Structure 1
Amino acid sequence: MKKIFIPKAIIMSPIFWILLVIGFALLYFTKNFEIKKTDKIAETAIDITAIKDISEWEFLTIQREEFIDTTLRSKELACIYTGTIRLGLNMRHAKKKWAVCSHDTARLELPAIEILDNNFIDEASTRTFHSKGNISASLKEGMYREAKRQMKAKALTPENIRTAEENAKDQFSRLFKNLGFKVVLIQMEECIE
């Protein structure tokens, strides 16, 4: 067996020792290097389920007042009804596979924008300005329904629906990007109310 000759001057050099330490460090770290499995997909699935479980997502709030009056022979009533209409998504109406995720892309199919609570008139804030005669409960109920119909018609305009849809797309896009998806594609069902 042949002996390897290393000159004494090289062994005594600080550069030799530094290179030797770096070599052993590289050998140690590359030997212990391994690819670790992540549970990101499982966590993301739980997050997506939690998003649907929240159920109602509000994206636009509209404050309305409607003046409703009636004149019937000996009966007169004039009232101002106040209401807060909330437009948003009800995730209970989402399709079963509303979120399909692969690699860095999330494809979402969201339900249509709708009024989240149909009892939006604040009856305690209703103001009566003029009342004459004996007003029946059915007349008051009819006026209430008319105020509700007018508020709903004025709230569900194409512009308000478009604004709520844009807000929904923006919020869901940011939410899914925070979950780690680089591309978020969103399709929404058409509002038919």
Structure 2
Amino acid sequence: MTDLESRLNRLDTPGLRPPVLPDADVAYTLHDTPIGTLLLAVAGGRVVASSFGDEETMTTRLARAVSPRVLRQPRPLDDVRRQLDEYLSGVRRAFDVEVDLVLATPFQRLVLNDLPTHTSYGATTTYGAVASDIDKPKAARAVGTALGANPVCVVLPCHRVVGANGALTGYAGGLDAKRFLLNLEAKS
């Protein structure tokens, strides 16, 4: 037996093996995209974040809202990352993932749950129209605020909501990201 084989055999003893960490309650990763870096997170197999927010702020929110066991573990997000990349390259038109709005306020949930039914791929709607759809016709600004804090950007298409005159207004990833997403969808 060589010296190297002898050292490798010693590493295979139970007391010397590297620890195997359990899966996180919340797994997250940072994913670089053409529209910026997104923090992606899943909990219980559901997407809880697809956010432009900074890592420390988002992981703190996740720890408070879901579980203190928030670990950077990219593997559980492989499917989400693949679907996001396919969407951003124009190959995919819809996401096939479960979403959990645990980071959203009750009003945000009302707005975001209604969003996919009123904005199809390649189409836009207005903040006022969304406000009317949720039976709050005078809440266009509140709808804008709720969408601006969407914890699951891109997956829940808040980028498809524009001003009453068709103007692009605020987006968490910036107006260039919003323009990119709308142009991407318009080409398909």
TM-score w.r.t. the length of structure 2 is 0.24
Bigger Cα Rg = 1
Write 1 or 2 for the structure with the bigger share of strand.
1
Structure number with the bigger relative contact order (C-alpha 8 A, sep ≥ 6) is 1
TM-score w.r.t. the length of structure 1 is 0.23
